[in-house]
Amino acid sequence: MRTWLVALLLIGVATAGAMQMWRRDGDASGDAPVALLADSDRDPEDAGAASDDAAERPTGDDVAETPAESVEGESEAPAPLVVDLDESTGERTASASGSLAGEVGDGVDRPGGAVALAEGEARQKAVALVDQAARSNDPIEQARLLTAALKAGALDKAADEKAYAALLEANARGLLNPRLDALCMRIEVKRGDSLWAICKRAEKEGQVPVTPGLVRLLNGLKGDNIYPGAKLKIPNVPVSILVEKSKFRLSVFVGELLLRRYHVGLGKNNKTPEGEFQIKTRLIDPPWFKPGVGALPPEHPENILGTRWLGFAEKEGFPEAATFGIHGTREDDSIGTESSNGCVRMHNPEVEELFEWISEGVNVVIRA
């Protein structure tokens, strides 16, 4: 029995020694088992310490650049993508560091880049206005949206022409519809009234100069005959003209709505003045006072004024403004060119139409 106990004791001592040797060998070789703890099993303080340690590591521009060791047969690693946040706009711009700076998307302005972007955004807004007009059932609202899209000048030629055609159709159903009162007031015709008398009364009541031709247009009248008791539609918003020299275009507005636009000719060597003017004189078949010659009657073949003249008033600091105006021409080929002495030229049939709607005092803006 005593011999049996001694044998068991010797076996236990040997086993313990073998286990210690196995552990030492495992630690030295890196093969010792590692305890894997789930995140939920870790000590919260240990986890916090790990987070703090990560937060203290330098990032972004704080990291010193260390040249990477190139491996023969392998390409260098691509430059990291840097995303910056513009605090003023909230927009993010992405760029590759190093040699890729200045490429598309890096937020760096390049010649023409900002202009192209602005033009693209303007075109998108104009197209959106046209789409919004197409969804509207209100012809006045349609005309307002289409006017805004056309005034932006950002549509391509085909889209611009289509939008203008849609505007004319909307005006026929809205502004020029005798039954709709938008942008207009009503004046009742009294016994003995004429269209001129109605216009004078309308100007006094609405503070807006009006012509018989515009009253005929808004009320669908074919002539000057009016009848007592009729209530005529009279605009209570001003008519105005915009000339865009870069487009060789003259546009007529009733309030904020575009009524018509025309192709025009301008002054040679950029002689057509820019600024704001007022219509002062209205002449049918005007004579032309040719420098060094004198007055040429309207039927004279050298009279360059055509069938109508809408002359500007003098303005402070520019008394010569009274020598400029809008007129017709027999030289139809000059429309769309710079060939006049500074006046705005129109085809005779078109200036005759414009003349019917424009009274003294109408504002004219001429811009580049």
Is residue 263 flagged as an active site residue? no
pLDDT in the model for residue 259: 98
What CATH number corresponds to the domain at position 302?
2.40.440.10
What residue type is assigned to position 279 of the chain? Answer: I
- What pLDDT sits at residue 17? 54
Whether residue 352 is found in the same domain as residue 340: yes
One domain for residues 221 and 275: no
What 3-state class would DSSP assign to 195?
A: helix
Assign residue 220 a region (left: φ > 0; alpha: ψ between -120 and 50; beta: otherwise). left
Contacts of 115 (CB under 8 A, 6+ apart): none
Residue with more model confidence, 139 or 113: 139
**d(C-alpha 38, C-alpha 107), whole Å:** 44
Question: In terms of domains, do 244 and 229 share one?
Answer: no
pLDDT of residue 15: 52
Statement to judge: residues 253 and 196 lie in one domain? no
Task: State whether 252 and 283 are in the same domain.
Answer: yes
Same domain? 224 vs 277: no
pLDDT of residue 312: 98
Domain CATH for 224: 3.10.350.10
How much is the average pLDDT of 108-132?
Answer: 80
148 and 167 both lie in a single domain: yes
- Do 195 and 135 sit in the same domain of this protein? no
Distance, CA of 316 to CA of 333 (rounded, Å)? 34
Instruction: Flag whether 15 is in a domain.
Output: no
In a domain, 90, yes or no: no
In a domain, 258, yes or no: yes
Last residue of a domain, one of 235, 258, 276: 235
Burial of 319 (0-12, 13-18, 19+ CB in 10 A): exposed
Residue 219 has pLDDT above 90, yes or no: yes
Asked whether residue 35 is domain-assigned, the answer is: no
**Residue 106: φ, ψ to 5°:** -90, 0
Count each helix (H run) and each strand (E run) in the chain, helices first. 8, 16
Annotated catalytic residue: which of 199, 263, 300, 343?
343
Residue 65 placed within a domain? no
d(CA 368, CA 366): 7
Nearest to 151 by CA among 255, 237, 251: 251
Full residue range of the structural domain in which residue 151 is found: 118-173
In this predicted model, what pLDDT tens digit does every residue of 297-311 receive, in sequence order?
Answer: 998 988 999 999 999
Secondary structure (3-state) at 239 = strand
In a domain, 63, yes or no: no
Q: Are residues 256 and 352 in the same domain?
A: yes
Q: CA-to-CA distance for 327 and 244, rounded, in angstroms?
A: 16
Q: Are residues 167 and 202 in the same domain?
A: no
Question: Is residue 106 situated within a structural domain?
Answer: no
pLDDT of 181 over the 50 cut: yes
pLDDT tens-digit map of 258-315: 999 999 999 999 999 999 999 999 999 999 988 888 899 998 988 999 999 999 999 9
Same domain, residue pair 243 and 357: yes
DSSP labels for 80-145? PEEEEE-TTT--EEEEESGGGTTSTTS----TTHHHHHHHHHHHHHHHHHHHHHHH---HHHHHHH
Which alpha helices (DSSP H) does 207-359 contain, by range? Answer: 212-219, 348-357
Give me the catalytic one of 184, 199, 263, 327.
327
Q: Count structural domains, the chain.
A: 3
Say if 253 falls within a structural domain.
Answer: yes
Contacts of residue 321, defined as CB under 8 A and 6 or more positions apart, other chains included, come to 273, 277, 312, 313, 314, 315
**What's the pLDDT score for residue 302?**
87
Q: Is residue 184 annotated as a catalytic residue, yes or no?
A: no
What is the pLDDT, as a whole number, of residue 16? 52
Average pLDDT over the chain reads 78
Please tell me the predicted confidence (pLDDT) of residue 301: 87
Region of 258 on the Ramachandran plot (φ > 0 left; ψ -120 to 50 alpha; else beta): beta
Do 359 and 298 belong together in one domain? yes
